[in-house]
Structure 1
């Protein structure tokens, strides 16, 4: 009786893992969560430091340009023939019989490359296309070289600007130094001129004073000065200035003023006290005679008496004293010189 059972199916090589090549058993791959878990986390790349920006970019640009040039050169090289074993080559189908390929081949061009132009124009800009550039690698290389040249030009411009700035600062410093030197010289010359003008003005002032002041006598010699110490003076030091001259030599008013007193005064002998307009008193002592009286007005150079040897003296001379309005004695020689007189 015929059986209705279906014939047993041949075991599938994918189920048994036996493909006829060997007796190996293939295990089923079961992807798990662990095996397909995506890698998480941030990957940080340490920045390189210590290199000049322009030099680094230029170096990287040159390397990239050389690489791009290599790519362009590799695309332009002719195809290289590949040899296959005869057993394998005989079993391969004819290239012309392949769908979509046979139409590109002909009997006369079996050994010629299908195309020598690039398979794609990706990466070529419109401007480069207008210039006739059709090779992406060459275009990339040209752009990298252009960027490198621009960066180098920028670095050169910055270096030149820094040099110009340093030169300008140096020139400004030198100019300031010269200006300071000139100002110092001008200040010194100004100070010198001011000092000269001051001396000139003082000389003019003394000359003007000298015209209004006069020496108390003439044909004299200085025998004793103010402050000189000795036992001849009751105070222990000399309080005036002695003009030794012949007896009878005229005694003159040193400046205009009013006679305060005129008479005999002990050790001073005949003495005349003349009060000037500013209150200064001039004492004329040891006179042989007097030509004025108290209250009389006199002018510069008027004769008020004669040189003598009255009072406590050792010879004929004029003893001249100068006293302040308060009565203190001062050096007559310094006072006369302050009025422009040469003693």
Structure 2
């Protein structure tokens, strides 16, 4: 490194020189010229480069109006340049220390006491808890839906089973009822045939009282049915009848028992009649109307009929409590006692 020429020997540069003591020292262009090039970097042993360059300070003497300035008037300042490894990050040892310190700080984050340094860990834990809660909620909802579906299926199966059992029971009851009605009709037909044969074999017996009848005739009039029992008489009071009292005479008999015309006349009405059920209205030759009610079937629905002709069969249709024939007798639109009217015709009821 270039520097100014040294001062003459024997002269104390710390003292103020005079002009005549050792002569004037003026720096030249060569002695004051700055060094060329950059600082040289020396490679130290062991592979680490160190800078041994020390910047010298040139002494510039300025000649002023008050005297001569020399380099000895100013203290020398030593400037050291850091070595290249220090400029690049302090070497492998420094980087290793910094990495260790960073890892230690990262590892210590979850162990901090205050919430500020645990923010990232706490956020992750909260997210994990929310995910677990959501999964549990979805699982509970799925289980609840499955239970509801199973209960609904069980209820539907039970309802279907109940309907099937009810339909089977209704079918069995209907079959039993039909069988009973058919048996009663067959028995009534057999009784009627037997009575007809007996009537043909011997003359009619004289009239007599009683509560049962066999359908015998007298003077062109016959009883409306046979094998019967009188159960309700004309004028009986009760809430079962809309008028407050009974307007006819009830002949209780098995369903299917034949019903006959009490006298000759014509059928003027036949069909459903509300509380009367199936009804036939027979108008006799003298204008008297005889109503046959609660029939199970009707054999004649219009036209002329003769006394004793079967026009229908006993039943339990309409407002009834059992199988029977409700017989009404009307004159001029008003009801009269059927029992007295039959007796007036010479019939024993």
> TM-score range with shorter-chain normalisation?
0.3 to 0.5
Pick the structure with more helix per residue.
Answer: 1
Larger radius of gyration: 2
Query: What is the TM-score when the length of structure 1 is the normalising length?
Result: 0.39
Query: What is the TM-score when the length of structure 2 is the normalising length?
Result: 0.38
Specify which structure has the bigger relative contact order, considering alpha-carbon pairs within 8 angstroms and separated by 6 or more residues: 1
